[in-house]
Copies of this chain bind each other. A is one copy, B any other.
Amino acid sequence: MRATAEPAIAVTRQLGRFIATSSWLDIPVDVRREARRTLVHWIACAIGGSTHDTVERAVRAQLAMSNHGNARLFGRRERLVPASAALVNGIASHVLDFDDTQLGATNVHPTGPVASALFALAEIRPLSGAALAHALVLGIEVECRLANAVFRHANRGWHVTGAVGSLGAAAACAKALALEEQQIAFALGTAATQVVGLREMFGSMCKSLHTGRAADNGLTAAMLAAEGYTSADAAVEGPQGYAQVLNGATDLAGVVGALGQRYEISRLSYKPYACGVVMHPTIEACLRAREARPDLSARATAITLRVHPDVLSATGKQSPRTGLETKFSVYHAAAVALVHGIAGEDAFSDAMAVDPHVSAVRGRVRAQPDEAVRKDEVHATFSLPGETIEEHIDHVVGSVTRPMTDADLERKFESLAGEVLGASRCGRLLERCRGFEEISDAREVLAAATA
């Protein structure tokens, strides 16, 4: 069973060396800026998701095991032990499907596992804003490079965010703990052997668990490595290692090519709509079409979407029954945008899943996969009696080509966090986040972000 050829590239070791030697001073200004943007945005998502039923249940389960923790939760009053806080904050930040996405070879959501682990670590180790931001950049780097190399050509069925998240969180925590190269490599290995994330879970509460458990796994891996806990030398690249066993991947050159010369965080995008990014072009097309013709949903006899093939593999549920399931239905996304003109959290609720108008329109939507359509693109055709309307979205808002502006992000922050914290506390938190890199203790943000 053991393959005989040894891999040429010592990926685990090279990542360890890169992380150990990286200095905040090396990080380009635009990369620092994107670290701040994704952090602000992620905090908004974590607070916005913090009152979700999924999070309530996770908190109750954790409290049933231990109510002696001191680590804070975004948007909530309870405190948990650090690993559990990482778990719950991770769940909260992903449960709305509203967090950041890297539109690379996969649609990975890299900030969640890393930031969740780092804020939990900040509760037990002094961590400045700059140190946290630096660790965040490195953790995201590890996640995106693994996503793009290991899951590039095919995916056996892993939720990539979970599958790479443990390693990203471990990398970040190991840096924040100032571990040495060998320990960082062992932290990566210890994370690599704790995998989360089957795609079968999409539409259930376990999808967001992946982000949280990856954070917990990575934090735990780094804490173990700090105590000299050992792992395999070739954890990522070995014949029975992470890349090979999870996804049969052998070409790992991309994981370590040009490390420190380009940063993957620069390719992050943020979502204007509260669902998987693959459905966004469809939603923008439907919202635009409805703006021009408010009676469209009542009159259209057929709605035909030409979409990137990922749209159907990830969001092909034709008859979603719950709010969570609607997030995996491009048919629902199109219908709810056309009928009600909405695409926020309220569009993907249990109520909307069974809304009779939405469900009637849903049945008229057809989606055709087309390799020639890019991920940020859609061709939508609305057939009405006697006429046909075409809507082409070339680059959807929130894509790398048409990014959300800082002002867009702050509006999203106010909408998500304001509802939970109230406008005045939300404003103070946002102010603090704007100067995140100058904060001497990252816990200042946590203190301002609890309910």
- Enumerate chain A interface residues (CB-CB to B < 8 A): 1-2, 54, 57-58, 60-62, 64-66, 68-70, 81-84, 124, 154-158, 162, 189-190, 192-206, 209-210, 213, 219-220, 223-224, 226-232, 234-235, 238-242, 244-245, 248, 313, 316, 324
In Å, the complex CA distance between A68 and B54 comes to 26
Work out how many copies of this chain go into the complex: 2
The 8 Å CB contact of A200, one of B54, B206, B240, is B240
Q: Shortest 10 CB-CB distances between A and B: which pairs?
A: A68-B68, A157-B240, A157-B245, A199-B240, A200-B241, A66-B81, A200-B240, A200-B238, A57-B227, A61-B223
A1 partner residues in chain B, CB cutoff 8 A = 154-155, 157, 313
The 8 Å CB contact of A66, one of B82, B190, B200, B242, is B82
In Å, the complex CA distance between A58 and B241 comes to 22
A232 partner residues in chain B, CB cutoff 8 A = 198, 200-204, 206
**Given A64-B223, A245-B198, does the pair A193, B210 have CB atoms closer than 8 Å?**
yes
CB distance from A276 to the nearest CB of B (A): 15
In Å, the complex CA distance between A223 and B65 comes to 8
Contact B227 A206 (CB under 8 A): no
In Å, the complex CA distance between A450 and B61 comes to 27
**Given A65-B124, A82-B65, does the pair A197, B201 have CB atoms closer than 8 Å?**
no
**Given A81-B65, A228-B57, A239-B157, does the pair A195, B196 have CB atoms closer than 8 Å?**
yes
Contact A230 B210 (CB under 8 A): no
- Other than the known A57-B229, A189-B204, what 8 A-B pairs have Cβ atoms closer than 8 Å? A61-B223, A61-B226, A65-B223, A193-B209, A200-B240, A204-B231, A205-B224, A206-B231
In Å, the complex CA distance between A124 and B324 comes to 32
Q: A12 — nearest CB in chain B belongs to which residue? A: B200
